[in-house]
Chains A and B, each alone.
Chain A
Amino acid sequence: MADPITPVLTKRWLSPNSWRLSTYEQLEGYTAVKKALRKPPEQMVALIKDAGLRGRGGAGFPAGVKWSFMPQADKGAAKPHYLVINADEGEPGTCKDIPLMMADPHSLIEGCIIASYAMRAHHCFIYVRGEVLHCIRRLNAAVREAYDAGYLGKDILGSGFDLDIVVHAGAGAYICGEETALLDSLEGRRGQPRLKPPFPAAAGLYAKPTTVNNVETIATVPYIVNGGSDWFREMGTEKSPGPKIFSISGHVEQPGQYEAPLGTTLRELLELAGGMKDGIPLKFWTPGGSSTPMFTADHLDVPLDFEGAAEAGSMLGTTAIMVFNETVSVPWAVMKWTQFYEHESCGKCTPCREGTFWLAQVLERMVAGKGTEEDIDTMLDVCDNILGRSFCALGDGAVSPIESGIKYFRDEFLALCEDNKSKQSEAELVGAKA
């Protein structure tokens, strides 16, 4: 069994010029694609299903199952199929896909070839966040290298399989990480989530069968092809197998990307990251970005896999672990997050658009010492009116920090209202002071 710390996804990251095709090829690169192209596409889908690879974008949907939703036929009158890579990494705290594409872009490209082959797609789009120009350049250079080496284009490696990859820069909207909004944006429209059904596998990009996968998901594919599903399942837990890149940020000694099998606990990860910065104790943390309800020091031993996080009342999300020590005010942090959601709400549906606007104002008022105890209940009720009522999951994510923050740290919110209590008793009539 592999050592839990033996890197898989990040194994090339420290090699010199790790992003070059030559480095990649020296280190087992493009060996998986050669195997894959010799097998029938269905076998690839079955392999990924057997491996139990779950989506790394946050929701953890089984990748093989998603692939199998794509129509089988690709000949004759069948519509073209598309593979779209969601590289719009925007979740606060998440920094795994961009480092991956910077350090090892060819692993993504190889994954794209195998996944496209499995789903009979001949066009693959990589939708990258517009802000990360350096990453877009590197990815473009890697795609160019791959074309030159015959890994992309017509008749790849003599297999008869054709694939084109287009790297597309987004325009910097959090909502475009939502897969259907991403597709609209990719089509040149306003990035807002689409009504489902039809699901992308039926009518996605340009209304053609489309699969949208996260960067890390697809970059994992070549290793599975090389290592096999049994090897893959040696890592992680039964329902959440495989390695995962944890983005650790905040008050730790050495923030960064840490690869570890799913099911690793924060206590173990903190050890890897050198412990809490300056030894100041942990107060709260997010397991998978700000959209996942926060955890506290009580949750240090929660296994960080899809089931473990959910059981403990949160979600694994993007495994963006933001660590906050005791110097940080929870209401303040919650306010900052809420301002983010207010800014990024796409505006399509009422609960998210209006709700985030309202909640941000209440929190700003509260942090300024002008809140009331009643505001806390109002906030919770407004959260209840957003959660599960909004069009897409952005609204659900927006209420996570507030609900969990109040759940674990209600006292801090109440303390902010204390000052205001005395002022309130001497309520004045509007306009009384002429």
Chain B
Amino acid sequence: MTIAPENTETEVPEGHVKLVVDGEEVIAPEGELLIRTAERLGTVIPRFCDHPLLDPAGACRQCLVEVEMNGRPMPKPQASCTMTVADGMVVKTQKSSRVAEKAQEGVMELLLINHPLDCPICDKGGECPLQNQAMAHGRSTSRFVDTKRTFPKPISISTQVLLDRERCVLCQRCTRFSDQIAGDPFIDLLERGVHQQIGTAETADIHNSASHTSSGTPFQSYFSGNTIQICPVGALTSAAYRFRSRPFDLVSSPSVCEHCSSGCALRTDFRRGKVMRRLAGDDPDVNEEWSCDKGRFAFRYAAAKDRIRKPMVRDESGELVEASWTEALRRAADALVAARESNGAGVLTGGRLTVEDAYAYTKFARITLRSNDIDFRARPHSAEELDFLASSVVGTTPEHVSYASLEKASAVLCVAFEPEDESPIVFLRLRKAARDKGTKVFHIGQWTTSSVRKTFGELLACEPGGEAAAVDGIAEHAKDLDAALSSDDAVVLVGDRAAEVPGLFGAVTRLAERTGTRVAWVPRRAGERGALEAGAVPTLLPGGAPVSDASARATLETSWGLDSGTMPAEPGRDTAAMLAAAASGELDALVVGGVDPDDLPDPAAAREALANVGFVLSLEMRPSAVTEHADVVLPIAPVDEKTGTFLDWEGRVRPFSITLEGTGALPDCRVLDTLAVEMDADLFTQTAQAAWSDFSRSRVVSAHQGSNPDQHSRPAASTPDTPDGTVRLATWRQLIDNGSLQVEEPHLAGTARDAVLRMSAATAERHGVTRGERATISTERGALTLPVEFTDLPDDVVWAPARSPESIRSVLGAGHGASVALSGGAR
């Protein structure tokens, strides 16, 4: 923006125009809305319907200004939120035009005539755009003396969103968000005139109960919480937060979401040591101004009643009892030293750590336990995946692939990746790219999921397990996709489910080399990318250098202050191998972070390993399947109570500082540091800051990064034939299920998608499943019965959510790509 000094001709850059706003000459980019131009000059024009990330609507008429074009005043005041700048335009806002000022006052008075005087009890009171703008731009008194329109209030439009129609100013931000941004048009305007209201198919039924014929669909969206945040009045409120606090009593702290690898900036609001709510933060590079409902609402796990706040040790009777830190650390240190000196100890960190915490685990394994037996992957994994992470992922930054590059891409291919469930903000960006920028989105998957539909995408359907062959077949069978991927700005996104498909990483690597497209890996959990970088894997050191690289080890030994040659040189065991070793007695102890055995490739074997291994140290927040078997449990801090850094899927650094201070909860890095001292080693990870600076100083970048000859030679596995009577299972976790960080959130849980068994009509017929009944999938291990829904899956393929709510791996001992028996007839 340039404000020209008087009497000098300002140069107008290409693609810009010159106009006058309130007597000041301004250069503005073509296409800029007047309301933004004025804003850049420091003039805030009041508004309700306007939102910079939504298409202009011009509905509320609050932002009227006077406009002159070519020296002629326009006859009516114009909505500055819909009119774009033009050369020679003269704009007069409320600052310099009585007409604009009166128009704004008039609209404000009209908005208030039907607005209830709820402010003293309204959640929005104190942070309400209507309240604030009425004070700034409204009349001091109302001339309205007649009867206000009223509605029963509030009505719930989903389990987590309540609607107070009296307060609504009908700006349509919520409906436009749902339609444009999320692609979930479950709320819309109903009725007309002063009776116009926001509603869902359900509320429309209530309203029109005389002709009630069907029960409608509630507001079903993973993103519904955003409508509460962008509502400029208190019409949409959160069931979880309603009446809990006043905005002016809250202290806000910028934070970063701990749920998935999207890396959303959040704002955590707390009062008297208790987190009251979370809002989406504003980060144009990452989540813009949005967040998913899980990120927004799932935070009460940290305040759960059963939170572990003191160390516990197992006593002689086999019960876990609270103990002092001194005692618990002593017990753990002794046991781990004994294990180290005998068969060794393995470390399972889980995928939810900050970089600092993961780094502390890395150092703890390498220095204190003198082992490379460490793996962050608490889910199905493979050696191939590790090779791929080492060659193509570790060390990459947003310069490689970022949210911005998705928006710029001419084509994006999603492989074994369900964006809406696995990384909702990536999903929103793909939808935006497809909707606004014409990006073509392709999905290699099994059925036309909502991610496919809402990204205007094209599905390349394949059998579960057949993804590798599908990727290899692109050149031959999908020539348009092949051509699209060959353009400079194309991107391939691979989900962490790819580890379940043999040969898929090899196929993706071959595709990338052939077409030159960039590949990015989008794990489900927030900590995976950081843990990889921190070296919490059996084959890599912090920074990505291979464990087997002697010079890298030597460098690290120097930075870590270790004696030369003390670092273990042999690659360690991965998660599955560690569990197998623990079960068979080849490992004497396990150090376990946030791991849910139900997520592991073989939950039963994992439980057995935990039960059989000599010693289990669990670093946990709440009782879990691991603490059940733990000999020592050390409490650790949730994100609100610590400082740290996540790396999002782009490799972008997402630092956050502590929200709730003085709770006494310690981060993993501090706990491990103290434990290491008990074992006579120094990790230098007493604080997150210390851990980060040590990590930054010590990371050893791989010399071989970017090439991995092993990848190419791995052939795409052809899917084995399905035995007679069986079908192939496709599965992944839905965004909202019974994950351990979603406890104590009944309102959020109410918006989870139904657990159904999907199959094609032909498959159903072949296996004796009829519409409307439930069907059963089974293996030798167990069976799972779910309601059936017909979907466009390939024949002899079924899809079920990985948690329904039982873990499919726990019940069936089978995962994505496995053969299962299908039968109908269940009621």
Contact = CB atoms under 8 A, between A and B. Distances in A.
Contacts of B57: 195
Contacts of B103: 385, 389
B242 interface: no
Contacts of A173: 192
A386 to B, nearest CB: 8
Contact of A349 (B59, B106, B147, B191): B59
Given A353-B170, A391-B58, A358 B146 contact: yes
B77 interface: yes
A421 interface: no
Contacts of B114: 354, 357
Contacts of B107: 350-351, 385, 389
Interface string B220-248: 00000000000000000000000000000
In the complex, which of the residues B59, B76, B170 has the most CB atoms of chain A within 10 Å of its own CB atom? B59
A371 B151 CA distance: 27
In the complex, which of the residues B62, B82, B146, B194 has the most CB atoms of chain A within 10 Å of its own CB atom? B194
Contacts of A68: none
Contacts of B149: 357
B194 A351 contact: no
B207 interface: no
A409 to B, nearest CB: 22
Interface in B460-510: none
A195 B56 contact: yes
B192 A195 contact: no
Contact of A388 (B77, B143, B144, B195): B77
B193 interface: yes
A385 B193 contact: no
B60 A350 contact: yes
A361 interface: yes
Contacts of A378: 143
Contact of B111 (A346, A350, A361): A350
A229 interface: no
A347 interface: yes
A353 B76 contact: no
Interface string B80-102: 00100000000000000000001
Contact of A347 (B61, B110, B191): B191
B188 interface: yes
B64 interface: yes
A343 B111 contact: no
A391 B61 contact: yes
A344 B193 contact: yes
A190 B185 CA distance: 13
A347 B58 contact: no
Contacts of B195: 347
A389 B77 contact: yes
Nearest to B110: A354
A137 interface: no
B650 interface: no
Given A195-B82, A388-B75, A391-B61, A347 B193 contact: yes
Nearest to B193: A345
A353 B196 contact: yes
A65 to B, nearest CB: 19
A173 B192 CA distance: 9
In the complex, which of the residues A342, A350, A382 has the most CB atoms of chain B within 10 Å of its own CB atom? A350
Interface residues of B, number: 36
Contacts of A353: 170, 193-194, 196
B61 A351 contact: yes
Interface string B138-160: 00000110110100000000000
A289 interface: no
B380 to A, nearest CB: 45
A361 B148 CA distance: 10
Interface in B102-149: 102-103, 106-107, 109-111, 113-114, 143-144, 146-147, 149
Interface string A354-387: 1111100110010000000000001001101110
Contacts of B54: none
B192 A346 contact: yes
Contact of B76 (A195, A342, A350, A389): A389
A329 interface: no
A354 B144 CA distance: 11
A407 interface: no
Nearest to B56: A195
Contact of A361 (B75, B109, B146, B192): B146
B826 interface: no
Nearest to B75: A388
A347 B170 contact: yes
A347 B196 contact: yes
In the complex, which of the residues B57, B76, B106, B149 has the most CB atoms of chain A within 10 Å of its own CB atom? B106
Contacts of B189: 190, 192, 347
A39 interface: no
Contacts of A385: 102-103, 106-107, 109-110
A18 interface: no
B775 interface: no
A28 to B, nearest CB: 43
Nearest to A388: B76
B369 interface: no
A192 B191 CA distance: 11
A357 B194 contact: yes
B675 interface: no
Interface string B51-69: 0000011111110100000
Contacts of A381: 106
Contacts of A391: 58-59, 61
Interface string B169-199: 1100000000000000000110111111000
B113 A358 contact: yes
Contact of A175 (B56, B147, B188, B192): B192
Contacts of B75: 388
B72 to A, nearest CB: 16
A388 B107 CA distance: 12
A390 interface: yes
A336 interface: no
Nearest to A364: B146
A343 B111 CA distance: 18
A353 B58 CA distance: 14
A343 B195 CA distance: 9
A365 B147 CA distance: 11
Nearest to B189: A190
Contacts of A346: 192-193, 196
Contacts of A410: none
B146 A362 contact: yes
B111 A354 contact: yes
Contacts of A390: 61
A416 to B, nearest CB: 16
A345 B76 contact: no
A370 to B, nearest CB: 10
A278 B433 CA distance: 70
Contact of A343 (B61, B143, B146, B193): B193
In the complex, which of the residues B61, B77, B147 has the most CB atoms of chain A within 10 Å of its own CB atom? B61
B192 A354 contact: no
A411 to B, nearest CB: 23
A279 B58 CA distance: 50
Interface in A9-40: none
A365 B193 contact: no
Contacts of B169: 350
B106 A351 contact: yes
A-B pairs, top 9 by smallest CB distance, nearest first, are: A385-B106, A347-B196, A388-B76, A361-B146, A354-B110, A357-B194, A345-B193, A347-B192, A347-B193
Given A347-B192, A358-B110, A385-B103, 7 more contacts: A195-B57, A351-B107, A354-B111, A354-B114, A356-B194, A378-B143, A385-B106
22 contacts: A173-B192, A192-B189, A195-B57, A345-B192, A345-B193, A346-B192, A346-B196, A347-B170, A347-B193, A350-B59, A350-B110, A350-B169, A351-B61, A351-B110, A353-B196, A354-B110, A355-B110, A356-B194, A357-B113, A357-B194, A385-B102, A389-B106
